Structure 1
Amino acid sequence: MEPTTLGMRVAAGAVTPLVRKLLVRRGPGAGLVDQPVRIGGWLSFRGEKRTLDPGDLARLAEEVVARYAKAAGPHDAPAPEVRREVADALAHALGRLGELDMDDVQAVRLGPGELAARVGRPEHLSAGADALFGPLLHTVCLHVLNFFTQNSTFVARTAVEQSARLDRIASTLELLAERVPDRTAADARFEEEYAAHVARRHSELTIYGLDLHHTREWPLDTAYISLEAEAGGAPLPAERALHGTERVLLRGAAGSGKTTLLQWLAVTTARQDGERLARLPHLVGRVPFVLPLRRVLRDGQPPTPDRFLHAAGSSLAGEQPDGWAIRVLRAGRGLLLVDGIDEIPETERGATRRWLRELLADFPGNLWLVTSRPSAVENDWLARDGFAELALSPMGRADVAAFVQRWHEAAEAPPELADALLGLVRTTSDLARLASNPLMCGLLCALHRERHGFLPHSRKDLYEAALSMLLERRDVERAIRDDALRLSKDSSVVLLQKLAHWMLRNGRAEMDRADVVAQLERTLPQMAHITATPEGVYRHLRDRSGLLREPAADRVDFVHRTFQDYLAAKAAVEEGDFPLLLDNADKTQWEDVLRMAVAHARPAERARLLRGLLSGPPDSEHAEDHHYRELLAATCLQEATELDPAVREEVERRLRSLVPPRDLAFAHWLADGVGSPLVLGLLPGPEGLDDETALNVVITASSFTEDAALPVLARYRSHPSLGVRRQLAWAWHRYDTRQYAREVIAHLAEDELYFTVASVEHLKALRDLGGRSRVHAAYVHEPEDLVAHVPAERLTHLWLSTGWSAGLDMSWLGAFPRLRTLVVPEWPPEVVERTLPSALKVKVSRNVVSP
Structure 2
Amino acid sequence: MDPEAVHALVQELFVADGPVDRPVRIASLVAFQGDHRTLTERDLPRIAAALIEVEAEPRPAHPTLTDPLTDPLTDALARTLHSLGTVDLDDVRAVRLGPEAFARHLAVAAPDADEGLNAADARTHTRLREAVCAHILRFLVLRSRFVAAAEDAAFEERYAQDIVAAHDHLTIYGIDLAHSPDSWPLDAAYLSLQTETDGGGGPGAPVEQAPAEQALAGRERVLLWGVAGAGKTTLVQRLAVSVARGDLPAPLEGLRGRVPFVLPVRRFRHDSNHDRHDRNNDNGNPNTNTNRSNPNTNHNSHSNPNTNTNHNSSHNAFPEPDAFLSAVRYPHAAAQPPGWAERVLSDGRGLLLVDGVDEAPEDERERLREALRELPTRYPGNVWLVTSRPSAVRQNWLASERFTELKLSPLSREGVTAFIRRWHAAARQDITDRADLARLSGYEETLLDAVRITRDLGRLATNPLMCGLLCALHRDRRGYLPRGRKALYDAALSMLLERRDRERAMQPPDGIDLPQEPKIRLLQKLAHWMLVNGRSEMDRATAVETLARHLPAIPHAARQGGPEEIYRHLLNRTGLLREPTPGSVDFVHRTFQDYLSARAVVERHDFDFLIDHAHLDDWEEVIRMSVALARPDECGYLLEGLLAARKDARPIHARHRKLLAASCLEHATELDPEVRSRVHRYTRDLVRPTSLEAARALGWIGPIVLEMLPDPSGVSDEEAHRLAVTATSIADDRAIDYLVRLRDRTSWAVRAQLAGAWRRYDTDRYADEIIAHLDARELDFPVSDLGELRALRRLGGRPCVQVAGALTPEQLTEGLVAERLTELWLAYDLGEGPDLGWLAAFPHLHTLRLSHRNAEVTGVPEGVQVIVAGP
Whether TM-score is above 0.5 comes out as yes
Asked if residue 765 in structure 1 is aligned to residue 791 in structure 2, the reply is yes
Q: 1:407: which partner in 2? A: 423
Equivalent of 1:502 in 529, 532, 541: 529
Q: 2:744: which partner in 1? A: 718
Residue aligned with 1:697, SS:
helix
Q: 2:452: which partner in 1? A: 426
Residue aligned with 1:551, SS:
coil
Q: Deviations over 1:257-281 (max 9, x none)?
A: 221222233334444446x22x445
| C-alpha separation in 1, matches of 2:155 and 2:818 | 53
| C-alpha separation in 1, matches of 2:823 and 2:338 | 54
| C-alpha separation in 2, matches of 1:696 and 1:265 | 37
* Alpha carbons 1:230, 1:392 under 8 Å: kept: no
| C-alpha separation in 1, matches of 2:454 and 2:767 | 22
Superposed displacement of residue 319, structure 1: 5.4
Superposed displacement of residue 538, structure 1: 0.7
Residue aligned with 1:552, SS:
coil
Equivalent of 1:798 in 824, 838, 845: 824
Equivalent of 1:377 in 383, 386, 393: 393
- Letter of the 2:677 partner, please give it: E
- Letter of the 2:184 partner, please give it: W
Q: 2:628: which partner in 1? A: 599
| C-alpha separation in 2, matches of 1:244 and 1:724 | 32
Residue aligned with 1:407, SS:
helix
Cα RMSD for the two superposed structures: 2.8
Q: 1:263: which partner in 2? A: 237
Superposed displacement of residue 571, structure 1: 1.4
Asked if residue 236 in structure 1 is aligned to residue 214 in structure 2, the reply is no
Q: Any unmatched runs of 5+ in structure 2?
A: 1-147, 272-314, 429-436
Q: 1:669: which partner in 2? A: 697
Superposed displacement of residue 452, structure 1: 2.1
Q: 1:486 to 1:187 in 2, by over 3 A?
A: same
| C-alpha separation in 1, matches of 2:839 and 2:247 | 28
Q: 1:21: which partner in 2? A: none
Q: How does 1:509-528 map to 2 (within 5 A)?
A: 509-528=536-555
486-495 or 394-403, which deviates more: 394-403
* Alpha carbons 1:606, 1:640 under 8 Å: kept: yes
| C-alpha separation in 1, matches of 2:803 and 2:252 | 17
Q: 1:729 to 1:597 in 2, by over 3 A?
A: same
Superposed displacement of residue 717, structure 1: 2.7
* Alpha carbons 2:662, 2:705 under 8 Å: kept: no
Superposed displacement of residue 653, structure 1: 2.1
| C-alpha separation in 2, matches of 1:616 and 1:448 | 45
Superposed displacement of residue 492, structure 1: 1.0
Asked if residue 227 in structure 1 is aligned to residue 194 in structure 2, the reply is yes
Superposed displacement of residue 417, structure 1: 0.9
Q: 1:216 to 1:298 in 2, by over 3 A?
A: farther
Residue aligned with 1:798, SS:
strand
Q: 2:590: which partner in 1? A: 561
Q: How does 1:347-386 map to 2 (within 5 A)?
A: 347-386=363-402
Q: Deviations over 1:383-421 (max 9, x none)?
A: 333333333333232222222222222222623212212
Superposed displacement of residue 751, structure 1: 1.8
Q: 2:599: which partner in 1? A: 570
* Alpha carbons 1:344, 1:509 under 8 Å: kept: no
Residue aligned with 2:353, SS:
strand
Q: 1:402 to 1:844 in 2, by over 3 A?
A: same
Equivalent of 1:294 in 261, 266, 271: 266
210-219 or 485-494, which deviates more: 210-219
Superposed displacement of residue 359, structure 1: 1.0
Equivalent of 1:216 in 177, 182, 186: 182
Q: Deviations over 1:335-379 (max 9, x none)?
A: 221111111222332332232222122112322221122222333
Q: 1:269 to 1:753 in 2, by over 3 A?
A: farther
- Letter of the 1:548 partner, please give it: L
Superposed displacement of residue 437, structure 1: 2.3
* Alpha carbons 2:803, 2:825 under 8 Å: kept: yes
Q: 1:631 to 1:758 in 2, by over 3 A?
A: same
- Letter of the 2:820 partner, please give it: R
Superposed displacement of residue 185, structure 1: 5.9
Q: 2:867: which partner in 1? A: 845
| C-alpha separation in 1, matches of 2:836 and 2:359 | 46
Q: Any unmatched runs of 5+ in structure 1?
A: 1-182
794-803 or 545-554, which deviates more: 794-803
- Letter of the 2:562 partner, please give it: T
Aligned length: 660
Superposed displacement of residue 550, structure 1: 0.9
- Letter of the 1:236 partner, please give it: Q
Residue aligned with 2:628, SS:
helix
Q: How does 1:693-712 map to 2 (within 5 A)?
A: 693-712=719-738
Asked if residue 457 in structure 1 is aligned to residue 483 in structure 2, the reply is yes
Q: 1:657: which partner in 2? A: 685
Superposed displacement of residue 647, structure 1: 0.7
Q: 1:416 to 1:211 in 2, by over 3 A?
A: closer
- Letter of the 1:560 partner, please give it: H
Identity %: 52
Equivalent of 1:779 in 796, 805, 824: 805
| C-alpha separation in 2, matches of 1:402 and 1:480 | 32
750-759 or 184-193, which deviates more: 184-193
| C-alpha separation in 2, matches of 1:348 and 1:424 | 43
| C-alpha separation in 1, matches of 2:721 and 2:755 | 12
Superposed displacement of residue 217, structure 1: 1.8
Q: 1:491 to 1:658 in 2, by over 3 A?
A: same
Q: 1:584: which partner in 2? A: 613
Q: Deviations over 1:140-191 (max 9, x none)?
A: xxxxxxxxxxxxxxxxxxxxxxxxxxxxxxxxxxxxxxxxxxx956655655
| C-alpha separation in 1, matches of 2:791 and 2:413 | 16
| C-alpha separation in 2, matches of 1:243 and 1:693 | 37
* Alpha carbons 1:617, 1:625 under 8 Å: kept: no
| C-alpha separation in 2, matches of 1:793 and 1:843 | 18
Superposed displacement of residue 703, structure 1: 2.8
Residue aligned with 1:474, SS:
helix
Q: Deviations over 1:422-471 (max 9, x none)?
A: 32233332222222222222212211111223322222221111111111
Q: 2:101: which partner in 1? A: none
Q: Deviations over 1:648-706 (max 9, x none)?
A: 1111222332223332222222121x112x22233345422223322232232223333
| C-alpha separation in 2, matches of 1:327 and 1:807 | 36
Asked if residue 340 in structure 1 is aligned to residue 366 in structure 2, the reply is no
| C-alpha separation in 2, matches of 1:285 and 1:468 | 45
| C-alpha separation in 2, matches of 1:280 and 1:436 | 27
Superposed displacement of residue 284, structure 1: 5.0
Q: How does 1:518-557 map to 2 (within 5 A)?
A: 518-529=545-556, 530-531=558-559, 532-557=561-586
Asked if residue 745 in structure 1 is aligned to residue 771 in structure 2, the reply is yes
* Alpha carbons 2:837, 2:860 under 8 Å: kept: no
Q: 1:197 to 1:332 in 2, by over 3 A?
A: same
4+ residue runs over 6 A deviation? none
Asked if residue 198 in structure 1 is aligned to residue 163 in structure 2, the reply is yes
Larger radius of gyration, structure 1 or 2? 2
Q: 1:647 to 1:485 in 2, by over 3 A?
A: same
- Letter of the 2:592 partner, please give it: F
| C-alpha separation in 1, matches of 2:665 and 2:414 | 29
| C-alpha separation in 1, matches of 2:602 and 2:798 | 57
| C-alpha separation in 2, matches of 1:617 and 1:262 | 40
Superposed displacement of residue 785, structure 1: 2.9
| C-alpha separation in 2, matches of 1:242 and 1:638 | 37
553-562 or 752-761, which deviates more: 752-761
Residue aligned with 1:411, SS:
helix
Q: How does 1:821-836 map to 2 (within 5 A)?
A: 821-826=847-852, 832=856, 835-836=857-858
